[in-house]
Amino acid sequence: MAVMVITGGSAGAGKATALRFAKAGYDVAIIARDESGLQEAENACRQYGVRTQVISADVADARSLQKAAAEIETQLGAIEVWINNAMTTVLAPFHLMSDEEFRRVTEVTYLGYVNGTRAALEVMSPRNRGIIIQVGSALAWRSIPLQSAYCGAKAAIRGFTDAVRTDLMHQRSRIQLTMVQLPGMNTTQFGWARNKMDKEMQPVPPVYQPEVAAEAIFSVVQRPVRELWVGKSTIQSIVGQFFFPSLLDRLMV
């Protein structure tokens, strides 16, 4: 069986994606920090009769991801699909965020993807095959208030991914590198994220179910594309940013 790896796969869209691949017969490896969530995701995936491995690791630690990749290859076999999905955020205006809070969001949400991409390439490059998927957001193109660190990280991922893709093309590599830009998702993200506002925050509507993200991510493995925009709102945000950036600035206030 083919082997897939996903970071941040213990809940939300990540867990839904792990289950979608398990349903299709992939052996599944999940990397996350929430050990109870990892156990639940592992049990859910095994109901499909596939081999499953869970590893508790911090994606901000490059060596931990490299070690995880080696362990997965030893236990499950050659990694064919690597999905970078782990994230964190702080809901606050920029001036209310501490240096440490901004740094942590950047380390997990941006550098976690850098570290994951490097770990994946280290095992895929000798075989010259595989696909790496960056789970992005419409916010990589159109930023919103109260999410400066997260939006900055998502934009950085897009620039990083484009650069590495051209590196691979120059090397005539057969490894695919793609990005899936998601809309607002109905996940636990806004429940566990650090919120410095005086009210509960919600994703920008319309809000989609995690299974929509899972199907989109699965689809780019079957039919690789450079970048996939998921949902009407994502398309509107990205296209609107091209043509009416100042108008969108005012609408966000």
Asked if 156 contacts 110 with a C-beta cutoff of 8 angstroms, the reply is: yes
Total number of residues shown for the chain = 253
Task: Give the C-alpha distances (Å, rounded to integers) separating 182 from 109, 142, 202, 217, 251.
Answer: 15, 12, 15, 10, 20
- Provide the domain limits for residue 53: 3-252
Asked if 26 contacts 4 with a C-beta cutoff of 8 angstroms, the reply is: yes
As beta bridge partners, residue 182 has 137
| Residue 12 or 240, more confident | 12
**Considering its fold, how many domains does the chain have in total?**
1
- Percentage of the chain with pLDDT > 90? 74
Task: Give the C-alpha distances (Å, rounded to integers) separating 225 from 133, 180, 217, 220.
Answer: 10, 9, 11, 6
Angle at Cα 106 formed by Cα 102 and Cα 112, nearest 5°?
A: 150
pLDDT in tens, 145-159: 888 999 999 999 999
Q: How far apart are CA 135 and CA 202, in angstroms?
A: 20
Sign of torsion over alpha carbons 69, 20, 32, 136: positive
Q: How far apart are CA 175 and CA 198, in angstroms?
A: 46
Is the pLDDT score of 192 beyond 80?
no
* Number of helices followed by number of strands (H, E) in the chain: 10, 11
| Residue pointed to by tokens 């993807």 | 113
Q: What is the DSSP letter of 147?
A: B
Q: Which amino acid is it at 148? A: S
What pLDDT, on the 0 to 100 scale, is given for residue 110?
Answer: 98
Report pTM. 0.93
Q: How far apart are CA 21 and CA 211, in angstroms?
A: 12
Asked if 9 contacts 20 with a C-beta cutoff of 8 angstroms, the reply is: no
Residue 15 maps to which CATH number? Answer: 3.40.50.720
The mean pLDDT value of the chain amounts to 92
DSSP states of 168-225 as a string?
HHHTT---EEEEEEE-EE-SSHHHHSEE-SSS---PPSSEE-HHHHHHHHHHHHHS--
Confidence label for 12 from pLDDT (cuts 50, 70 and 90) = very high
What pLDDT, on the 0 to 100 scale, is given for residue 186?
Answer: 78
